[in-house]
Chains A and B, each alone.
Chain A
Amino acid sequence: MHANHTSKLILRYAALTLLAALIVFPIYATIVNSLSSPVDVSRGFIGYPRALQWDNYSKAWNQGHFSRYLFNSAVVTVAITIGQVITAILAAYAFAFLRFPLRRTLFVGFLLTLMIPGEVTILQNVATITNLGWKNEFSALIVPFLASGFGAFLLRQAFLQLPTELREAAFLDGYGHMRFLWRIVVPLTRPAIAAMGLFAFLGAWNQYLWPLLVTDIDQRRTVQVGLKQLAAGSVDQITITYAGTVLAFLPIAILLIVFSKQLVRGLAAGAVKG
């Protein structure tokens, strides 16, 4: 009986390890190749590099414009995240705590935005951006994403779960709506706001199609679009491509490890509702 238990445990670990190895292999191969010489890479070499070629990273950083791309991505992502969190908090408060004409209609309008994917509207949006003269401007990358129907919906749900006595007590104490929102509602729903913010952050960082269409100069390209430039390079540049990929991947990997709890919450909720 005991031996049977042990062998089952070994089997489970074997299965876990095999699956983990399969999943992580492409990332492992990318990291190894990013530190190898082009000669080793073209031989299909995937062991430990003979001499670590940190040079690949400095080339991706400088000649590959990755310093610029990463900066642009950071600016755009932070601006979108902050913007979406603020507009979603405001909208969620209105839907959760205020009474006003057309409330239902407007709420349905917010939900409708969830059903219209960005891929459907890009054509006219690029025309709008061009007419506004925003092509290759940060505003083109940021402004269209400063509101989130999903975020407003998620936070409204969180706000509605607060006990109603809280609100009555706050108003008896002479709190106005804004003070109640920022002093009581927001602090109490921080986990939901953090999850929503992380979700917004990932979405903004990972965008590909939109930045591809509204930027065509290195000065304004984001990391994801920059990767396309790098991938299109010649074969002897492939080690630089690998290094660039790691640079695009690393900040998010670190962030996700730090915020793994919020991630699981946000992604699970987002996958079900978004």
Chain B
Amino acid sequence: MARILKKRIREAFLAYVLLAPSFVVFAIFVFYPFLKNIEIPFYSHTGCRGFGVNRVCAEEFVGFSVWREILASNEFAHSLWVTLKFTFLTVPAGIGLGLVLAVIAHARLRGITIYRTIFSSTVATSAAVASVIFFSLMNPRAGIWRLHIDGIPILEHPTWALPAVAVVATWQSLGLAFIVMSSGLQALPDEVLEAAAIDGAGPFRRFARVTLPLMGPILFFAFVVGSISAFKTFAEIDLLTPGGGTSDSTKVLAYGVYEAGFASGDQVRAAVFATGLFICVLLLTLAQLRLERRVKYAR
């Protein structure tokens, strides 16, 4: 008895030692800042004295009033709207194009590896690299695409800057979309497609009636994951439209966090924006988990 107990204790001790490095990092850099973000807006910080680390404020519990005020503000609504527009402009286009590329490259042809390499090539570009490439190519004085709308350079245009940023983001994520769609396509049972072909279904019918339904779960995952990363977009906005665009037209939520916290120094507003961003990502993740469970049961 005593020996078994001793063994158990030793095993548990080892487990905690193995988990400790990860957990310390998570505690300091994930859980603490996350909870702190939620706590901050519940207190009003008035009567501050001193600067920097030595800054001391009198704290007063104010309940949900600050939350309500900021979440109901036009600024938050605007950022959320811009983020939704951006997601809508990038995610379906990215998945659609990725799928088209995957279908066209899904064949045993001479030299297909070269095409597949080119199609996946944009995974080597980071968001920053892609943005600087397009920022330079669209430079109104020295680029090869000096695009103007209404006489305004496209990236400074209040309406067209966001779609332009969306094109860059879609191009940058196309390599990944292609890889994901390709591996999904390769996992499909060949027999089903062959059977459909023998039954006389043409390529478009085969695609619409057989391939698409079979790819359903992967398309949904790609949609959720793509939406999550669209919601977190920052580098493209900062590099292509510094300051969040003309009349804040490209000021997505993540940019709002940055702008509030670091340019304006408004910690409370930044904390609420960040938590708002988290809630959006959480809702998307929950949708994914729900579907994952459904797919599992369906099998």
Contact = CB atoms under 8 A, between A and B. Distances in A.
Contacts of A33: 136, 144
Contacts of B99: none
B119 interface: yes
B76 to A, nearest CB: 15
B34 interface: yes
B180 A268 contact: yes
B127 interface: yes
Interface residues of B, number: 89
B85 to A, nearest CB: 18
A175 interface: no
A20 B29 contact: no
A24 B121 contact: yes
B22 interface: yes
11 contacts: A41-B142, A44-B144, A100-B15, A115-B278, A144-B25, A177-B11, A235-B141, A238-B136, A245-B136, A267-B179, A274-B225
Contacts of A209: 234-235, 238, 254, 258
A228 interface: yes
Q: Which 8 A-B pairs have the closest CB atoms?
A: A124-B33, A206-B126, A100-B12, A121-B33, A147-B25, A147-B22, A100-B15, A208-B235
B67 interface: no
Interface in A168-185: 177
Q: Is the interface of A mostly helix, strand, loop or mixed?
A: helix
A122 interface: yes
B68 interface: no
A217 interface: no
Contacts of B158: none
Contact of A235 (B32, B142, B282): B142
Interface in B213-251: 218, 221-222, 225, 228, 232, 234-235, 238-239
Interface string A227-259: 110110001001001101100110011001100
Nearest to A121: B33
Interface string B8-23: 1001101110110111
B278 A116 contact: yes
Given A115-B285, A209-B258, A106 B23 contact: yes
Interface in B114-156: 115, 117-130, 132-137, 139, 141-144, 146
Contacts of B24: 147
Contact of B22 (A91, A124, A253): A91
B127 A206 contact: yes
B183 A264 contact: yes
B58 interface: no
Nearest to B222: A271
A90 B19 contact: yes
A93 B18 contact: yes
B104 A15 contact: yes
B14 A98 contact: yes
A167 to B, nearest CB: 13
B132 A241 contact: yes
Nearest to B173: A271
B62 interface: no
B171 interface: yes
Interface centre among A29, A46, A128, A209 (most CB of B within 10 A): A209
A146 interface: yes
A30 B11 CA distance: 56
Interface in B165-197: 171, 174, 176, 179-180, 182-183
Contact of A44 (B143, B221, B261): B143
Interface in A200-218: 202, 205-206, 208-209, 212-213
B257 interface: yes
A245 B133 contact: yes
Contacts of B222: 271
